[in-house]
Amino acid sequence: MTDRSLRLVLVSTPIGWVGSGAGGGVELTLSSLVQGLAQQGHQLTLIAPRGSSLPKGCSTLSIKLVEVAGADQPSWQHADEDAPVLIPPMGVLPAMLEEALRLSAEADAVLNFGYDWLPMWITPWVPAPMFHLISMGAVSMVMKRAIESVSRWNQGRLAFHTLRQASDFDLLQPARVVGNGFDLSQYIFREESGGPLGWAGRIAPEKGLEDAAAAAAALGDRLLVWGLREDDAYANAVEAAVPAGTIEWRGFLSTSDLQKELGDCRALLNTPKWNEAYGNVVVEAMACGVPVIAYDRGGPGELVRSGENGLLVSPDDVSELTAAVSRCETIQRRACRDWVERHASCAVFSQRVETWIREGLAADGNITAMH
């Protein structure tokens, strides 16, 4: 018997409205998954902060957008290890969860994208089956414990982007890894291999831009930099440490504009200083045919197959990073695109997520979602 469509309530990140860029890679993940699940015929309601819009490519699909007012939730991204839980007065996070639970009576499951304590804590106590796509590693002790607590109660409710991300947590069972997905129709493959070096990500210390800039400077090369400038003092310090003209700031661009410029690069440098959960820009570059030279750390170290779609170098080793640039032309650009098509398309990603949710519901005895 053919599986019937699922009725899903999706809860967006509470850090900025969808389209603002404040949610970082979660926004791209959300966009891809909403599109993929809708194309598979599932009935979706997306709950997001006021001002949000449906992701590009979703306007013609049957998706209901519910906007909720409230103050943005502080990000755990830069929190200290022992940071406490903070919820602003009139915060958007509890307001979105209230709406999700109200709508869950007519849904099969709630899928949460927000990396925060409150949705984890309420999961065992609400009648709605709540699933969580975890977007970061263990950035603080309270979040580590909250995620591990859900794991001990029912690990089937958790999924991760990579095994390296999941390794941050003490799980009782092997982690469910769903990867990530991209609308590949938005990324034009570029066969030519010339052009400058590129770097993309939030402009913040944990992303390690200074190492990429130092490598470009050592080669006398330009480094195109794309991303939301979160920390001006850090950005200015990185620029001051290399010769004038080394860094060319390109700003935070739409996917369409980013891939046009990114595709011109001969390589993308990826230099995370922390356990990156996945590495969206790594896959975006490869989708354009651009090889990635990455530190063998976190998600990027799991995505880059050295010699196939890029090169891995020792973490924090700028000299090794610099030397690897001369070898990037040994990577076939078509092989980069082929890897993405096999492992990280919208369809592949959404099917993994659907399977995870169906199996989780079935394990809980909810057989109606399976038929």
Packing angle of the helix pair 280-287, 333-343 (nearest 10 deg): 120
Beta strands in 125-207 (DSSP E): 130-133, 158-159, 197-200
On whether residue 279 sits in a domain, the answer given is: yes
Cα 167 from Cα 102, distance rounded (Å): 34
Closest to 115 measured CA to CA, from 153, 70, 170, 161: 161
Evaluate whether residue 2 is within a structural domain. no
In a domain, 364, yes or no: yes
In-domain check, residue 109: yes
User: Under 8 Å CB-to-CB from 125, ≥6 apart: which residues?
Assistant: none
Same domain, 352 and 335: no
Average pLDDT over residues 334-363: 97
**Mean pLDDT value across the chain:** 93
Does the structure show a pLDDT above 80 at 329? yes
Shared-domain flag, residues 320 and 357 = no
Give the per-residue pLDDT at 190.
Answer: 94
**226, 251 Cβ separation under 8 angstroms:** yes
Position 182, amino acid: F
If asked whether residues 78 and 151 sit together in one domain, one would say yes
Task: Determine the pLDDT at residue 26.
Answer: 86
Residues 71-97 pLDDT 10s: 999 999 878 999 999 999 999 999 999
Using one digit for the tens of pLDDT, what is the confidence trace for 155-186? 999 999 999 999 999 999 999 999 999 999 99
pLDDT single digits (tens) 214-242 = 999 999 999 999 998 989 999 999 999 99
Query: Structurally, how many domains does the chain consist of?
Result: 2
Same domain (yes/no): 106, 36: yes
* Band of residue 13 on the pLDDT scale cut at 50, 70, 90: very high
On whether both 236 and 349 belong to a single domain, the answer is: no
Two tokens, residue 116: 């925060």
Determine, yes or no, domain membership for 146: yes
pLDDT at residue number 78: 79
C-alpha distances (whole Å) from 347 to each of 26, 185, 248, 352 are 18, 12, 35, 9
Residue 327 lies in a domain: yes
229 in a domain, yes or no?
A: yes
Residue 143 sits in the same domain as residue 218: no
Average confidence (pLDDT) over 122-130: 97
207 and 144, same domain (yes or no): no
- Lookup result for tokens 């599932």: 42
- Residue 130, sorted as left (phi over 0), alpha (psi -120 to 50) or beta, turns out to be beta
Q: What is the DSSP letter of 257?
A: H
Task: Note whether 199 and 131 are same-domain residues.
Answer: no
- The CA–CA distances, whole Å, from 350 to 71, 95, 211, 345, 346 equal 30, 27, 35, 9, 6
Residue 351: domain span:
7-181+345-370
Host H or E run for residue 232 = helix 232-240
Q: Are residues 43 and 173 located together in one domain of the fold? A: yes
pLDDT tens for each residue of 349-365? 999 999 999 999 999 87
Residues 6+ apart with CB under 8 A from 144: 138, 168, 169
Q: What is the DSSP string of 180-199?
A: --B-GGGS-------S-EEE
Give the max Cα distance, the chain. 65
CA atoms of 200 and 262, how far apart (whole Å): 9
Of 25-29, 110-114, 244-248, 325-329, which gets the smallest average pLDDT? 25-29
CATH number at residue 309: 3.40.50.2000
Taking the C-alpha atoms of residue 23 and residue 15, their distance in angstroms, rounded to an integer, is 5
CA angle 25, 29, 32 (to 5 degrees): 140
Residue 1, domain member (yes or no): no
Q: Which of 307, 338, 316 is nearest to 270 (CA)?
A: 316
What order do you get walking across the sheet with 247-251 strand by strand? 247-251, 223-226, 197-200, 267-270, 292-295, 310-313
Closest CA to 117 of 147, 92, 89, 91: 147
Tell me: do 38 and 152 sit in the same domain: yes
> Is residue 363 located within the same domain as residue 234?
no
Phi, psi of 97 (to 5 degrees): -70, -40
pLDDT of residue 4: 85
Beta strands in 180-331, from DSSP E residues, in sequence order: 197-200, 223-226, 247-251, 267-270, 292-295, 310-313
What pTM, to 2 d.p., does this model score?
Answer: 0.91
Q: Which residues contact 84 (CB under 8 A, 6 or more apart)?
A: 142
Burial (0-12, 13-18, 19+ Cβ within 10 Å), 301: buried
For residues 328-340, average pLDDT: 96
User: What pLDDT, on the 0 to 100 scale, is given for residue 59?
Assistant: 65
Question: Do 221 and 168 lie in a common domain?
Answer: no
